[in-house]
Amino acid sequence: MSTTPESYRVEFAQQKSVLVRANQTLLEAALTTGIPMLHLCQGNARCSTCRLLVHAGADVLSTPTAAERQLAGQMHLSPAIRLACQTRPIGEGAKVTPILRDQTDIDLYLSPLAVDKSQDMGMEKELVLLFLDIRNFTRLVETHLAFDVIHLVRKLFTAFQFILQGFGGKIIESAGDSLYIVFGLEQTLIASASAAVQAGYAIQSELNRLNDQYFQTYFDLSISIGIGIHQGTVISGTIYLGEQKHLVVMGHAVNVASRLQNATKEVNNDYIVSADVMDLLPPQSTTAVEPITIQVRGISEPIPVYLLGKPYPSSKVPLAPTYVSQDNIP
């Protein structure tokens, strides 16, 4: 079949040969001819779901745009990988294969277990991140009965979950003695910062109440926690493990928030909030506290933070806990 000077034939491996106009991207040509191709960012080089592997004819494809070069550099893509949304034909003989085209990749996005909203596939978001950890948990496990350990954690985390949900937080992970929460999935960044900081205060207040009215009475112990809060750009998306759907949030800001929570032990203060979060709050929120700069493990640059909590008590979890009848536990 002959082509006009304005059109060139491109072979999409295992699909079909397509006549592509010179002013048309390979993504546009694929979609208009019925070749399925993911394009989460709608063809703006802000994702890589329309990646193509070029088998032949790289020299008859347009040179990468500035946007494509930037993304390729960030992802360290091979020169043989092109973005369909940024690539046009300039001659005959190109042969390409969409990367997300084998059965396992299709199942991730098109099967009954696939994500059902475009934002679930993986997007950049500005979120506020809160990490919480029970202090001296290993010692608590070693000195208490198995039932009591689970009961204590259940008592704590049930109360904390109610508070977090009330402030719009979503629990992403729980690792026995710790929680990882995000704010901002349904709120603005400023509202999320305020909600996260208030949630931290509310959790501390509830912990004080539980210590005074419950843990000291029934278990002869006082539980301490560490809280770290940070904000920034993260990658958010959904994965399936078996039939269970899980929201995943990852990125440098997540690492910083986690490190701040760990740093509560080093600075001897149970509540640390980064200046990036506090800067989003009204000025009167920070007038009573002076920021400091700390260096945390795994993060190259020092981090300005606010210490909003209190020093840890010197007492440890008792070695000989007092047990009471379950009938006396509310």
- Structural domains of the chain in order of their starting residue, each with its CATH number: 7-110 (3.10.20.30), 120-307 (3.30.70.1230)
The two tokens of residue 204 are: 């501390």
Q: Give the pLDDT score at 233.
A: 94
d(CA 135, CA 20): 62
Q: Is 309 helix (H, G, I), strand (E, B) or coil?
A: coil
Cβ neighbours around 59 below 10 Å, total: 10
Count of alpha carbons within 13 angstroms of residue 283, beta-carbon side: 0
Give the pLDDT confidence score for residue 258 in this predicted structure: 96
Look at 112-121, 145-154, 163-172 and tell me which has the smallest mean pLDDT: 112-121
243-284 pLDDT tens trace: 777 889 999 999 999 999 999 999 999 999 999 999 999 887
User: If DSSP codes are grouped into helix, strand and coil, which group holds residue 96?
Assistant: strand
Q: What is the pLDDT of residue 322?
A: 30
- What span, in angstroms and rounded, lies between the C-alpha atoms of 140 and 317? 6
d(CA 49, CA 38): 5
Average pLDDT in the 137-150 region? 86
pLDDT tens-place string over residues 170-204: 999 998 899 999 999 999 999 999 999 999 999 99
Stated as kind and residue range, the H or E segment containing 311 is none
In this structure, how many other beta carbons lie within 10 angstroms of the beta carbon of residue 210?
18
* Residue 79 neighbours by CB under 8 Å, 6+ apart: 58
Per DSSP, the residues of 239-294 read EEETTEEEEEEESHHHHHHHHHHHHHHHHT-SEEEEHHHHTTS-GGGTTTS--EEE
The pLDDT score that the predictor gives to residue 330 is: 31
**Residue-level pLDDT at 198:** 96
Dig out the tokens for 156 from the structure: 């704590």
Task: Decide which of 40 and 168 is more confident.
Answer: 168
Q: Give the containing element (helix H, strand E) for 16.
A: strand 16-21
**What does the alpha-carbon distance between residue 68 and residue 41 come to, in Å, rounded to a whole number?**
13
Q: How far apart are CA 271 and CA 128, in angstroms?
A: 15
pLDDT digits (tens, 9 = 90+) for 296-325: 888 888 999 999 999 998 744 333 333 332
Instruction: Quote the tokens at residue 153.
Output: 């954690």
Comparing 162 with 2, the larger pLDDT belongs to 162
Record the tokens describing residue 109, joined without a space.
């996005």
Judge contact between 183 and 280, C-beta under 8 A: no
Tokens found for residue 242: 């078996």
The CA distances from residue 286 to 183, 194, 290, in Å, are 20, 12, 7
User: For 6-26, what is each residue's pLDDT tens digit?
Assistant: 899 999 876 688 899 988 999
What six digits make up the tokens of 239? 């994965």
Is the pLDDT assigned to residue 114 strictly greater than 60?
A: no
